[in-house]
């Protein structure tokens, strides 16, 4: 049986022991930096987000886009799209916003949107862990289980 830090944690009785172990786990989890290009080099498929970071119940996801996504909205989550490479066209029902590398756009909950990538676009997404990529729509583009890289 694997006895890792999570199992050990429940057996610790003193606050000092728990604090020590919590600090140990924080060190294990967060003291490595993440190179975005290196993460993006690990996959080549489109519209299949990978989890590259986690904080405060949010995921940081890396994803490559090419072509049109589907119209959808998210009932409960705002989404942030940070463009790393290429030009993202974020279509709304009343306008289109072009987002360039080094720029981001936040789509508020409830707002219909359709990402469009005429050429290949690489982005980071910031959104709650529970967010489904196709929001209120389920189709062949829906990804319920995401790989962590
Ligand atoms: Ni969305």
74-118: per-residue pLDDT in tens?
Answer: 999 999 999 999 999 999 999 999 999 999 999 999 999 999 999
The pair of three-digit structure tokens given for residue 77, joined into one six-digit string = 């989550």
**Average pLDDT, integer, range 143-149:** 83
Radius of gyration from C-alpha coordinates of the chain: 18
* Ligand 1 centre distance from Cα of residue 35 (Å): 24
User: Distance between CA 28 and CA 32 in Å, rounded?
Assistant: 8
Task: Tell me how crowded residue 2 is: count the other CB atoms within 10 A of its CB.
Answer: 5
* Ligand 1 centre distance from Cα of residue 41 (Å): 23
Q: What's the CATH number of domain 36-128, 2.60.120.10, 3.40.605.10, 3.20.20.70, 2.40.30.10?
A: 2.60.120.10
Q: Is 39 helix (H, G, I), strand (E, B) or coil?
A: helix
Instruction: Identify which of 82, 92, 85 has the alpha carbon closest to the alpha carbon of residue 66.
Output: 85
**Average pLDDT, integer, range 66-74:** 95
Q: Is the pLDDT of residue 40 over 50?
A: yes
pLDDT tens per residue across span 119-140: 999 999 999 887 888 888 888 8
**What pLDDT, on a 0 to 100 scale, did the predictor assign at position 144?**
79
Mean pLDDT of the chain: 87
**What pLDDT, on a 0 to 100 scale, did the predictor assign at position 77?**
93
**What pLDDT, on a 0 to 100 scale, did the predictor assign at position 136?**
83
Q: Is the pLDDT of residue 1 over 60?
A: no
* Ligand 1 centre distance from Cα of residue 65 (Å): 13
Higher pLDDT, 15 or 107: 107
**Average pLDDT, integer, range 20-38:** 75
Q: Is the pLDDT of residue 61 over 60?
A: yes
CA distances in angstroms from 19 to 11, 12, 57, listed in the order given: 13, 10, 21
Task: Note whether 133 and 49 are within 8 A (CB).
Answer: yes
| Residue/partner pairs of 91-99 with CB below 8 Å, 24 or more apart | 91/115, 91/116
**Average pLDDT, integer, range 42-54:** 95
With a pLDDT cut of 90, the percent of the chain lying above it is 63
* Ligand 1 centre distance from Cα of residue 125 (Å): 10
* Ligand 1 centre distance from Cα of residue 120 (Å): 18
Domain ranges for the chain: 1-32, 36-128
CA distances in angstroms from 52 to 11, 30, 145, 147, listed in the order given: 31, 12, 14, 9
């Amino acid at each position: 049986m694997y006895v890792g830090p999570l199992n050990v944690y429940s057996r610790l009785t003193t606050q000092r022991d728990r604090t020590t172990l919590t600090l140990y786990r924080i060190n294990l989890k967060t003291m490595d930096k993440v190179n975005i290009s290196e993460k993006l080099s690990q996959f080549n498929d489109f519209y299949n987000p990978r989890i590259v970071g986690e904080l405060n119940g949010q995921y940081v996801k890396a994803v490559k886009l090419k072509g049109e996504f589907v119209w959808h909205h998210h009932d409960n989550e705002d989404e942030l799209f940070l463009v790393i490479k290429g030009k993202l066209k974020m279509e709304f029902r009343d306008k289109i916003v072009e987002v360039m590398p080094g720029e981001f756009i936040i789509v508020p909950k409830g707002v219909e949107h359709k990402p469009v990538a005429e050429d290949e676009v690489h982005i980071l997404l910031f959104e709650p862990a529970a967010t489904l990529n196709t929001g209120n729509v389920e189709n062949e583009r829906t990804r319920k289980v995401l790989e962590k890289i």
